[in-house]
Amino acid sequence: MIKLSCLLELTHVTKVYPTQAGEYLALKGLDFTLNRGEMVAIVGTSGSGKSTLMNIIGFLDHCTTGSYVFSGRDVSHLDDEELALIRNQKIGFVFQSFFLLPRLNALQNVMLPLLYRGIQTDLAIKKSLDMLQKVDMKKFAEHKPNQLSGGQQQRVAIARALVGDAEVILADEPTGSLDSKTSHDVMQLFIELNQNENRTIVVITHDKEVSHHCPRVVTLHDGKVVTESSS
Ligand SMILES: Nc1ncnc2c1ncn2[C@@H]1O[C@H](COP(=O)(O)OP(=O)(O)OP(=O)(O)O)[C@@H](O)[C@H]1O
Ligand SMILES: [Mg+2]
């Protein structure tokens, strides 16, 4: 049997949001483990805590209590600066609304994470063009986001998430703004990246069609994991 190596582990994680009506407990003692090379869908009704979980996994936010171990290191108590550093090196994000910078063209958008890391421009251009090629968008390298369709913008956003060799790609409703054919193509791209390059991918989705493509599905309900299934 192949021994899978654990990339990250959340244990008894809670998340409390302060609100005007008092504290709101969005995660209620959640356990979640992700192995390297896995592709997992996170599903659950609106408000069940999916984005909250993704923000914690992706170092965009802290858990309130519980532990978070990433790559063998306890990261539960790191400060914002330390979290930002890990986030920039280890995590590639893809969001429903793409979040491409409107004034930059596709190539410049993909280059951004590399430039933040101080990688030389020539090398950043080369790596970014390779990545655009991978998502079949090289011919649109000079196009600005408003000159691209939704599916094309999402492919550029995926290239940006991949370019820095992140340890994990976190996608929150990546097909939420796309029609069903484009949505299928984007999911197919994730599946290829997982199967051919062993990329570790977490996809949050409402779409049964999308989760159907994932070998492991984790269902959240009311701030907890309620079911796990693997095919
Ligand atoms: N910044 C915040 N302040 C207060 N409450 C919040 C905050 N962010 C999320 N919540 C609450 O926490 C719960 C979980 O929110 P979350 O965004 O994780 O849900 P979700 O599963 O991603 O939902 P959706 O499918 O609608 O995106 C919700 O009840 C939400 O109202
Ligand atoms: Mg959400």
Residue 43 in domain: yes
Residue 23 in domain: no
What is the atom index within ligand 1 of the atom nearest the CA of 206?
25
Any residues with Cβ below 6 Å from ligand 1, and which?
17, 19, 24, 26, 44, 46-52
**How wide is the angle at C-alpha 200 spanned by C-alphas 34 and 50, nearest 5°?**
60
Give the range of the structural domain holding residue 214, as residue numbers without chain letter.
39-63+84-230
In the chain, the number of structural domains is 1
> Which ligand has an atom closest to residue 55 CA?
1
CATH number at residue 157: 3.40.50.300
Q: Cα of 51 to ligand 2 centre, how many Å?
A: 4
What is the atom index within ligand 1 of the atom nearest the CA of 45?
25
Q: What is the pLDDT along the chain (231 residues), one digit of tens a residue?
A: 555 799 999 999 999 999 999 999 999 999 999 999 999 999 999 999 999 999 999 999 999 999 999 999 999 989 999 999 999 899 999 999 989 999 999 999 999 999 988 999 999 999 999 999 999 999 999 999 999 999 999 999 999 999 998 999 999 999 988 888 888 888 999 999 999 999 999 999 988 878 888 889 999 999 999 988 887
Residue 19 in domain: no
Residue 75 in domain: no
